[in-house]
Structure 1
Amino acid sequence: MAIIGEITHTTTYRYAKPVTFGTHRAMFLPRRGASTRLLRWSASTSLPSKVHWITDARSNAVTVMDFSEPGSELTFTFKVRGIYFGVKGLETFPLEPRAEEVPVQYTPDEWTDLAGYLRPHADDPDGSHAAWTKSFVAGDQDRTADVLRRMLGLFRSEFSYRGRDAEGTQSPGETLRTKSGTCRDFAWLMIETLRRLGFAARFVSGYLYDAALDGGAVGMTGSGATHAWVQVFLPGAGWLDYDPTNSLSAGFDLIPVAIARHPGQAVPLAGSWFGDSGDYLGMSINVAVRKLSEMLDPSEG
């Protein structure tokens, strides 16, 4: 089965008086692959801009926008329509024997290719993160599937989602101390924990499709905004998605846009402006991910 869907991502910045703008870069285009076929997409701004597209070192699509006119309001509108192929309710996956227990045994070639995703990035000055990491392999709980399942369960039972307007991502230590954070904070803590256990893990930014919203029901955490989660490389299965915010691990729900070693490499929209520090009045973001129709996957006959 496949879903034809449409994403509309709008961001508006407001200022007390006209300011000038530097180059802005956006990541909104879903990554092409076996599960995604893009039909059309567009990027527009409320002020005149020159737009071009590039790919970064991780093959993420980046939209680059340059401005020549000042303004007191700047709106970015990104739209994309595509076909997403997925399997709903897939909870099991094949693993090679060397990936069934912690630590995973990667081959020399895999170590070379995955090195950037294996090394922990964040500091742990008081050792609290290391202690929390060890709790996942205590006793007989050292099978890969059990560790991943238990980790998702702890995020659901012990952590509270807390949105905030401030930019950036909390350190894993801060998220662990407060037991709260955003989807980016939870993803970053999970990634650094997995790396300390010997897993190759990377940060993913993208969108969350929530079928409940199609019917007007209350949606999952992270709906209506950009979302972030984790991918883990397991020999035999490849890169697998895990969303600690919603305890998701498969299906149509997660639409990847950018992959990165750390959250700072996958910012949905970033740029500069020039004016007085008090000119900035705030920003608003609206993301709509909706299903247009369903279709039969051609591979299913």
Structure 2
Amino acid sequence: MTVIYDLEHITTYRYRNPVTFGEHRAIFLPSAGFGGRILSYSLETNILSKVRWVMDTLSNSVAVIHLNDPAKELSVTCRVRGEHFGIQAIADFSLDDRAIKVPVQYTPDEWIDLAVFMRPHAEDPDGRLAAWAKSFVAGDQDETLDVLQRMMDTIWNTLSYQAREAEGTQSPSETLRLQSGTCRDYAWLMIEALRRLGFACRFVSGYLYDAALDGGEIGMTGSGATHAWLQVYLPGAGWRTYDPTNRITAGFDLIRVAIARHPGQVIPLLGSWFGDAQDYLGMDVKVGIRKLGTLPEFEEIITSI
């Protein structure tokens, strides 16, 4: 089933006095490929600007925004209409024999390609993170899929989801200490723990669509908003999705925008401004994802028009 959706992502910054703006970079365009297709998109600002598109080192689409005029408010509105194919649920991943147990055995070529996703990035000053990671392979608990599932389940069952206004991502050690975090914190914790067990993992940013929202119901954690999860490279299965915030590994809910070695590489909107530090009044982010229908339904509507 192919879902047609509309996405609107509005970020607004407010200031007490007019300020000038440096370059901003927006990462909001869903990845093209087997997971979906972009039908149309736009990026608008409330002040005069010039936008150019670049592809970063990991092939993510980045809009580079040059803002010309000072202002007391900056609003960046991103809109997308797209097709979303989703990831079909699979009862069991088809793994190569060398990936069935931990540690996974990567080939020399895979090592070269995956090295940046295998090297731990976050510090672990007191060893808390390493000890937590090793607890999942203690004794004879070394079945790869079992380890991955238990780690995801443990995050979902023992940590408390806690939205916060502060920008950035907690260190994995801080998330373990606080026993709480956001979707970005959960994904980053699982990535860095798995890297310490020899897995190649990458951070994924995007959006979480939940059909429950279309009916006015309460959806999954973080639904109808920007979201973060991870992918693990498993020989024989390739890059497999794990979302510890909602304990899902497949389906039609996750719309991928970008991949990265660490969360700081894929902040949805990042830039600079120049003025008195006390002029900054805050930021608001509004994200809306609306299902228009399935592909056959949508084609019928277009034909009737």
Q: How does 1:204-215 map to 2 (within 5 A)?
A: 204-215=204-215
User: Which amino acid is 1:222 matched to?
Assistant: G
- Corresponding residue for 2:132? 132
Q: Using the alignment, how far apart are the partners of 1:91 and 1:196 within structure 2? A: 27
Which AA in structure 2 matches 1:79? R
Q: Please list every run of at least 4 consecutive aligned residues from structure 1 whose deviation after the TM superposition is greater than 3 angstroms.
A: 87-91
Superimposed CA distance per residue, residues 16-57 of structure 1 (whole angstroms, 9 cap, x where no aligned partner): 111111110000001111221111100000111001110000
Query: Does residue 253 of structure 1 match 2:253?
Result: yes
Conserved 8 A contact 2:26-2:270: yes
What is the total number of aligned residue pairs between the two structures?
296
Equivalence for 2:12: 12
Name the residue aligned to 2:167: 167
Give the secondary structure class of the aligned counterpart of 1:226: strand
Letter in structure 1 aligned against 2:80: V
Q: 1 CA distance for matches of 2:229 and 2:156?
A: 14
TM-score, scaled to structure 2: 0.95
Report the alpha carbon displacement of residue 90 of structure 1 after superposing the two structures with TM. Answer: 3.4
Aligned equivalent of 1:50: 50
1:134 deviation in Å?
0.7
Q: Distance in 2 between matches of 1:170 and 1:87?
A: 29
Assess if the C-alpha contact under 8 Å between 1:56 and 1:62 holds in 2: yes
CA contact (8 A) 2:210 2:219 kept: yes
Structure 1 window deviating more from structure 2 (237-246 vs 89-98): it is 89-98
1-structure distance, mates of 2:70, 2:91: 51
CA contact (8 A) 2:213 2:224 kept: no
**Shift, 1:158, TM fit:** 0.5
| Percent identity for Structure 1 against Structure 2 | 64
Q: 1-side partners of 2:224 and 2:290: how far apart?
A: 10
CA RMSD of aligned residues (A): 1.1
Structure 2, gaps ≥5 residues long: 297-305
Distance 1:86 1:164 in 2: 29
Q: TM-score, normalised by structure 1?
A: 0.96
* Equivalent-residue separation in structure 2 for 1:252 and 1:102 (angstroms): 29
Q: Distance in 2 between the 1:152 and 1:216 partners?
A: 28
Q: Displacement of 1:71 after TM fit?
A: 0.7
Matched, 1:283 2:262: no
Mapping for residues 1-301 of structure 1, pairs under 5 Å: 1-295=1-295
Q: What secondary structure sits across from 2:155 in the alignment?
A: helix
- Which amino acid is 2:127 matched to? G
Is the contact between residue 224 and residue 286 of structure 1 (CA under 8 Å) also seen in structure 2? Answer: no
Q: CA deviation at 1:91?
A: 4.1
Contact 1:2 / 1:85 at 8 angstroms: preserved in 2? yes
Question: What is the CA–CA distance in structure 2 between the aligned matches of 1:239 and 1:120, rounded to whole Å?
Answer: 18
SS at match of 2:225: coil
Letter matched to residue 65 of structure 1: I
Q: Secondary structure at the match of 1:278?
A: helix
When structure 1 is superposed on structure 2, of 51-60 and 137-146 the one drifting more is: 137-146
Distance in 2, matches of 1:202 and 1:35, equals: 17
